[in-house]
Amino acid sequence: MTAVQGTAVDIPTEDGTADAYLSHPGDGRPHPAVLLYQDAFGLRPHLRAMADRLAGAGYTVLVPNVFYRHGRAPVVELPEFIDPEARPQMWEQLTPLIRSLTPELAARDAGAYLDWLAASPLAADGPVALTGYCMGARLVLFTAGAHPDRVAAAAGFHGGRLATDGPNSPHLAAARITAEVYFGHADQDSSLPEEQIERFEQALTEAGVRHRCEVYAGAQHGYTQADTTAYDREADERHWAALLDLLDRTF
């Protein structure tokens, strides 16, 4: 593993300043860039550790606080170990934040994040990769669809509501995606029933998107998040293997 350096950075957007975490190999040279999208719990020590692990594999990784319009991270106070069922009031705070980030705002913010990476001497020239978790998996699809020429690879893990009947459903972005796509679904995830898994797969296939979608047996929504009760070590390591394989093929 390469030695890494992590720093807090601020990213100008059309609607203010997004605080973010940047992790990169410590050699100071440009490396392929990865934009990592948070789950609902937001930018916190565990996501920084995930970024550091990716940076150790040779990538420059940016993790924005996508809720920046509501304040700097942590926007909602979080315990060190997150048990959502034990803290229902946490969802009362988080749900309005999640709903306020519309596909239009997400795509606009993505442009700012991509511009910031393009200007960074630590990011290699050319398109970037995306990876996202829970709600971040939806943001991956919105970003890859809105900025197809700037995204070479797109991965999502334990995403929910990926293929709804709504007019803004994330799966509708498939028609505009040119990146290679990998998604790892959790089969114990009530937010992504089997019919949505099938609809999502069909949308990618019909759009001609190079992709692989896999269902992780026994895994819960949130299986990669080691600071939560949903964590599943076996599924998490499978996620790392799939993600790094995608990045290796891309870069």
In tens, the pLDDT along 125-175 reads 999 999 999 999 999 999 999 999 999 999 999 999 999 999 999 999 999
Kindly tell me if the per-residue pLDDT of 26 is higher than 80.
yes
Residues of the chain with pLDDT > 70: what percent?
100
Band of residue 66 on the pLDDT scale cut at 50, 70, 90: very high
In tens, the pLDDT along 74-101 reads 999 999 999 977 777 888 999 999 999 9
Q: Angle between the 103-119 and 135-146 helix axes, to the nearest 10 degrees?
A: 70
The tokens 């910031």 sit on which residue?
116
In tens, the pLDDT along 186-201 reads 999 999 999 999 999 9
Cβ burial, residue 33 (10 Å; 0-12/13-18/19+): buried
Q: How many CA atoms lie within 13 A of 102 on its CB side?
A: 6
**Phi, psi at residue 97, to the nearest 5°?**
-65, -45
Domain count, the chain: 1
Look at residue 84 in the predicted model and tell me its pLDDT. Answer: 77
β 128-133/60-64 pair status: unpaired
Domain coverage including residue 241: 4-250
In tens, the pLDDT along 101-129 reads 999 999 999 999 999 999 999 999 999 99
- Give the span between the Cα atoms of 106 and 66, in whole angstroms: 8
- Go through 157-187 and write b for each residue having 16 or more CB atoms within 10 A of its CB, e for each that does not: bbbbbbbbeeeebbbbbbeebbbbbbbbbbe
Handedness of CA 5, 27, 182, 143 (dihedral sign): positive
Q: What is the CATH number of the domain that holds 212?
A: 3.40.50.1820
Look at residue 60 in the predicted model and tell me its pLDDT. Answer: 98
- Give the span between the Cα atoms of 14 and 250, in whole angstroms: 30
Three-state DSSP at 189 gives coil
Q: What residues have CB less than 8 Å from 21, skipping those under 6 apart?
A: 6, 7, 8, 9, 43, 47, 48, 51, 62, 63
Kindly tell me if the per-residue pLDDT of 202 is higher than 80.
yes
Band of residue 239 on the pLDDT scale cut at 50, 70, 90: very high
Band of residue 38 on the pLDDT scale cut at 50, 70, 90: very high
Give the pTM.
0.98
Look at residue 76 in the predicted model and tell me its pLDDT. Answer: 92
Kindly state the tokens that stand for 166: 């709504």
Handedness of CA 30, 31, 33, 36 (dihedral sign): negative
- Would you list the DSSP string of 68-111? GGG-SSPSS---SSB-GGG-HHHHHHHHHHHHHS-HHHHHHHHH
Active site residues: 134, 189, 221
Query: What is the edge-to-edge ordering of all strands in the sheet holding 211-220?
Result: 4-13, 16-25, 60-64, 33-37, 128-133, 151-157, 180-188, 211-220
Three-state DSSP at 18 gives strand
- Go through 69-97 and write b for each residue having 16 or more CB atoms within 10 A of its CB, e for each that does not: beeebebbebeeebebeeeeebeeebeeb
Residue 145 is given by DSSP the state H
Look at residue 86 in the predicted model and tell me its pLDDT. Answer: 72
